[in-house]
Structure 1
C-alpha cells in the first residue's frame, strides 16, 4: 500500500479513514477539499489545482482523500494501488453531514480548508448528496470492480465496517 485513493459521498468518513491510513502507514495525506477550495470557500484556479495535484500523483506514495474534478478522480483510480470506496447508506451520510455541521459550529471539521464556512459547506454537501445517485451507482461499482484484478479494492458499506477498517489500518 503506497498509493491510496479514499472516496465516497459527502459525510461518509473519508477524512477519518484517510487520516488513520496515513498515520498507520506513514504515507503523506492530501485532502482534496483543501486543494480545491480557497480559505474563503471559492474554488482555486483549475490550473493551480492541476499543477499541485499532478505533482502529488507523480510522487512515490500518497493517501488522497476526496473526489475532486472528475477527470482527476479517474486518473487517481488508475494510479493508485489501493482503492477505498466508502459507500454508506444515504441516511447515514445525511446524518454524518448534519452531525459535522453541529460539531463544526465549535470545531473546524477534519479535512476542511481553514476559513471555510461550515454552513455553506454543509449546504453544498446536502446538495451533492441529492445528486450522488447519478454517479455513485451500479455502473460506477462495475467500473470499480474492474480494478480488483490489479489493485486492492475495499468497499465499506456500514458504520461498523468503517470503524473496523479505520481501527485495523490505524495499527
Structure 2
C-alpha cells in the first residue's frame, strides 16, 4: 500500500477514513477538495488542478481522497491507473442521503471533515444533493465491473456499510 485512491459518493466517510489511513500508514494525504478549491471556496482553473494532480501522482507514495472535478474524468481514471490500492466506498443511497443531512446539521456548528476553508456549508450540501442525483449514472454495477477488471494487479476494497467503514483500518492495515 503506497499509492491509495479513496473514492465514492459525497458524505460517505472518505475524508475521515483517509485521515485515519494516513495516520496509520504515515503516507501523505491529499484531499482533492483542498486542491480544487481556493481559500475563499472558489474552484481553481482546470489547468492548475491538472498540474497539481499530476505532481501528486508522480510522487512515490500518496493517499488521494475524493473524486475531483465532475467534468474531469481523465484525472480520476489516471488516479485509478496509478494507484496500487483502490478503496471504493459504496454505502446505500438512503444512508448517503442521511449522511449529507447529518453533515449539514453538524456543519452549522463545526466545519465538516475535509471541507474546504471558506466554502458555504449550505451551498456544499445542495451541491452534494445535486451530485447524488447524478451518481447512479456513474456509481453503478457497470462501474464496479470496470473497477474489478482494472484492479486485477491491485488491491481493491469495496466498503458497503458503516460497520465496514468504521473497522477498515483495524482489519486491513498492519
Band the TM-score falls in, shorter-chain normalisation: over 0.9
Determine if the alignment matches structure 1 residue 148 to structure 2 residue 143.
no
Question: Can you give the 5+ residue segments of structure 1 that lack an aligned partner in the other structure?
Answer: none
Residues 8 and 14 in structure 1, CA contact (< 8 A), matched pair in contact too: yes
Which residue pairs with 2:74 in the alignment?
Answer: 71
Determine if the alignment matches structure 1 residue 116 to structure 2 residue 113.
no
Q: CA deviation at 1:169?
A: 5.0
Pairs aligned (count): 171
Question: Can you give the 5+ residue segments of structure 2 that lack an aligned partner in the other structure?
Answer: none
CA distance in 2, matches of 1:8, 1:150: 21
Which residue pairs with 1:14 in the alignment?
Answer: 14
TM-score (structure 2 length as normaliser) = 0.94
Q: CA deviation at 1:170?
A: 6.6
Q: Which runs of 4+ in 1 moved over 4 A?
A: none
Residues 40 and 117 in structure 1, CA contact (< 8 A), matched pair in contact too: no
Which residue pairs with 1:107 in the alignment?
Answer: 110
Q: CA deviation at 1:167?
A: 3.9
- The Cα RMSD (Å) is 1.2
CA distance in 1, matches of 2:173, 2:144: 26
Provide, for residues 102-136 of structure 1, a one-character-per-residue CA deviation record: whole Å limited to 9, x for no partner. 11111111111111111100110011001100000
CA distance in 2, matches of 1:130, 1:75: 25
